Amino acid sequence: MRHVDVGGADIAYEDIGLGDPLLLIHGGLVSHKEWQPQIEALSDDYRLILPDVRGHGASSRTTEAYSVKQWAADMIGVLDGLSIEQAVVCGHSMGGTVAQQIAVDYPSRVRGLILAETNVGVGNDGMMRFTANAMTAIFRVIGVGLGAKIASAALRGSDPKLAAIVADEIGGHKDNPQNFFNIIDAMNAFDGLAQLNQISAPTLIMVGGRNKLSHKQAQQMLATIPGSKLVEIAGAGHGVNWDNAPDFNAAVRAFMSELPPV
């Protein structure tokens, strides 16, 4: 992997392919490895920038509390290090909250925005808040290692390779549980509802047809982000980019083809 210093933190990333830049931001507690189906399918036509968010993968585990706002600034630091002025920003799950924050804080850097199976803050939805709090409590009681097995089991119906990646990468946090909970705390603290209407970039919202938990907030995004579009990926759960990779990749391609030329 390549590395760039951002505010004293070492941020690792891959830079694969040629063409219009597409920044792919992974979900919480995993790494850029979650984008394997997109690397294989999209790198022939696009320049894929695949960072490991601070606290994840091969990037630094820093001791201070994390925040979605900090993670967004780190992603801009990666683009700066590559002299990329503007990119399409795609985030999955936690990565989608980071993508939202980039679009709010650095609008000139975002050519287009793709929000896949993400949320605007777990505190804005009773079921999401209950689920997040319950999972955090479970992890604190049983530990990160066993919690990783439970998290991967929750992906029943998804590609077994994805479940294996999730189990391996979440389990990798067992040697640094404080970093693990710093990530969880930052995810749970995000509240982006009030700033949705500040997003000016063309926006594609994607949900998995099987994961009804994400649909309510997706509708909030659709109603609030000017000119946004919503696509439901048939047969997919939360692992939307794996569960039905052909349709996910086709939706990304269609969206990027509709953007105004650079």
178 C-beta neighbours (distance < 10 Å), count = 10
pLDDT of residue 151: 67
pLDDT reported for residue 128? 76
Cβ atoms of 55 and 66 within 8 Å: the answer is yes
E strands along 172-237, which residues?
A: 203-208, 229-233
Angle at 102 between CA 107 and CA 123, to 5 degrees: 125
Checking if the pLDDT of 99 tops 90, the result is yes
Question: ∠ at Cα 102 (254, 96), nearest 5°?
Answer: 60
pLDDT digits (tens, 9 = 90+) for 47-73: 999 999 999 999 999 888 999 999 999
In a 13 Å sphere around the CA of 209, the CA atoms on its Cβ side amount to: 9
Helices (H), 30-176: 36-42, 68-81, 94-105, 126-142, 144-153, 160-171
Q: Hey, which residues does 15 pair with through a beta bridge?
A: 49
CATH classification of 2-121+191-258 is 3.40.50.150, yes or no?
Answer: no
Mean pLDDT of the chain: 92
Give residue 174's pLDDT band: very low, low, confident or very high (50, 70, 90).
confident
pLDDT of 258 over the 80 cut? yes
pTM, to two decimals: 0.94
